[in-house]
Chain A
Amino acid sequence: MTYQSQAVSKLYFMAAIGLFVGQILFGVILGLQYVIGDFLFPAIPFNVARMVHTNLLIVWLLFGFMGAAYYMVPEESQRELHSVKLAKLLFWVFLGAGVLIILGYLLVPYAKLAEMTGNSFLPTMGREFLEQPTIGKIGIALVCAGFLYNIAVTVLSGRKTVINMVLLTGLLGLVLLWFFSFVNPENLVLDKYYWWWVVHLWVEGVWELILGSLLAFVLIKTTGVDREVIDKWLYLIIAMALITGIIGTGHHYFWIGTPSYWLWFGSIFSALEPIPFFMMTLFAFNMVNKRRRDHPNKAATLWALGTGVMAFLGAGVWGFLHTLAPVNYFTHGTQITAAHGHMAFYGAYVMVVLCIISYAMPKLRGRVANSNKAQVVEMWAFWMMTVSMVFITLFLTAAGILQVYLQRMSETPLPFMVVQDKMAFFYWMREVAGVIFLLGLIVYLVSFFIKGETEKAPKLVRDPAAFESQ
């Protein structure tokens, strides 16, 4: 840690990990409800558990991005953070708001929550991922705006690097697009049209800028590769992300009442969306191969490579699988979608946040890297979570293929619920994989408590000339 103010990121990382645990616990509950339909009914109906699962995911990823920014930006800008006080204040506000929202879901019937929070004044609730009470959405907007201000002032008054500027642009986009969560016209088609401006333009747009920036930062630090090279990659990756991803939004405008030209725009541009993800894979492996130092934090490097591979598999390959209109016609809104959603979110955003945590946490705790023993445990967690996520995806894909066939393609299409019963085997297997994921997460938590001898400054391997501090 070079700057005192970076320390604030530790709070954010700890909150992120804590909420991640909550997310996965509810994931396991959901998985069980899929096969034991009345599990926890009516205390925690499926829709409630699902809101908790997905909203915790989004909130903890935001905590992760914020922590990452607070860690990276001082180092990149070569100055202290504009205001540590503000960062701390916003942390508690955000955590408080997040916890209140989740408790609201769990303790109050949703219709009651809508009534209590005055949803009728500005109705924004009850849409997938955007279930938060309107006042909660306003809170999120304020927290994110305050955070953005803090980061922007720091970046703009310090050394401007490409990593910094790309991160800032991504965060700005994140905040601006959030305003579409308040757009909820009576016209269902338009509601859906703009709903995707939050959901799609986040994960297949501005978040990719954040992803690229975090990845580039960790790669610079762990490999010591020249900034010029890294910057060029970063620009090309985010260029491809936006060039393909913006019009790629059209892959959600096939069947919701929008004009038919979206079938072409959506199919063609989204079919190109795997390109930036593939470039990220190449980027990570190339930089590690060209490394000029062997950083003692092997775990962070593993997460970086893992992000490259899994983001490409989850977003690129599983996204491509169902993105062409003639395929999507049959797979739209099935377990194929769920399979892709899981691997893409995990491979891209979960992994990159765990990557920056893996790199930054030891430094925040006063060492270059964790002890070998702790790293081995962390790497076990990496493999347990990643492999079980691959299996979750495979089982859901199998379930999805069966569903598409029986419900949508066979001569005598069967009703939804009948088909669900026939898919039970795959749902059980997904649940088993989910439990292993949870075990992997526990191993991950344990890795933070493993002591052992910690290593000193990194050894130079190829070029002893001075380069960036690790």
Chain B
Amino acid sequence: MKEAFTKSMARNIYYGGSLFFVLLFIGLTVDTHRKIPKTDNSQAITESVAHGKRVWEENNCVGCHTLLGEGAYFAPELGNVYERFGNSKEAIKAFIKSRPVNGIPGRRSMPQFNLTEEELDAIADFLEYTNGIDTQDWPPNIQG
């Protein structure tokens, strides 16, 4: 690099640039907080939904599935599973309940989590709530 461009100029770009963008990021974060009640479906968060989120977490569902496109890529997207299962929480519960303990020979299989009826209701409520988040029309189609 040319001598005309000194180390202290480089340093100033680093300090000034980072500071500016940290502040901008914080500003955008504040604004995001203000705006998301319109899109985050938070009015649908009931006690059961919150419980469902714990069930989701404590069984590490995200270790195989994506949720709004984030997670693992081994099993289907679940952000829109409520819709894919015909807006039926019963269908979701039935699916989770019916997983064979020893899997399906030669194929990927979801574990049997032995959830209680209450946990099943909660997870189904959570997935219904997630389905209601405004995601700019993602995923592109029902298959996720």
Contacts and interface: CB of A to CB of B under 8 A. Distances in A.
Contact of A114 (B25, B28, B58): B58
A106 to B, nearest CB: 13
Contact of B109 (A38, A186, A228, A333): A38
A329 B140 contact: yes
Interface stretch (A62-70, A385-393, A408-416): A408-416
Nearest to B15: A239
Contacts of A189: 36, 39-40, 42, 133
B57 interface: yes
A238 B14 contact: yes
A243 B21 contact: yes
Main secondary structure, interface of A, reads helix
B96 interface: no
A256 B144 CA distance: 14
A324 B137 CA distance: 16
- Which residue, A127, A229, A256, A420, has most C-beta atoms of chain B within 10 A? A256
B143 A239 contact: no
A441 B11 CA distance: 39
B59 interface: yes
A128 interface: yes
A128 B70 contact: yes
Contacts of B40: 187-190, 257
Contact of A242 (B17, B45, B112): B17
Nearest to A189: B40
Interface stretch (A15-23, A29-37, A298-306, A442-450): A29-37
A51 B60 contact: yes
A231 B11 CA distance: 9
A233 interface: yes
Nearest to B18: A242
A41 B21 contact: no
Given A232-B1, A415-B76, A263 B60 contact: no
A37 B103 CA distance: 9
B36 A190 contact: yes
A192 B130 CA distance: 12
B7 A228 contact: yes
Interface of A: 33-34, 36-38, 41-42, 45-48, 50-51, 110-111, 114-115, 119-120, 123, 125-128, 131, 162, 184, 186-193, 228-229, 231-233, 235-236, 238-239, 242-243, 246-247, 249-250, 252-260, 262-263, 265, 329-330, 332-335, 337-338, 407-409, 413-417, 420
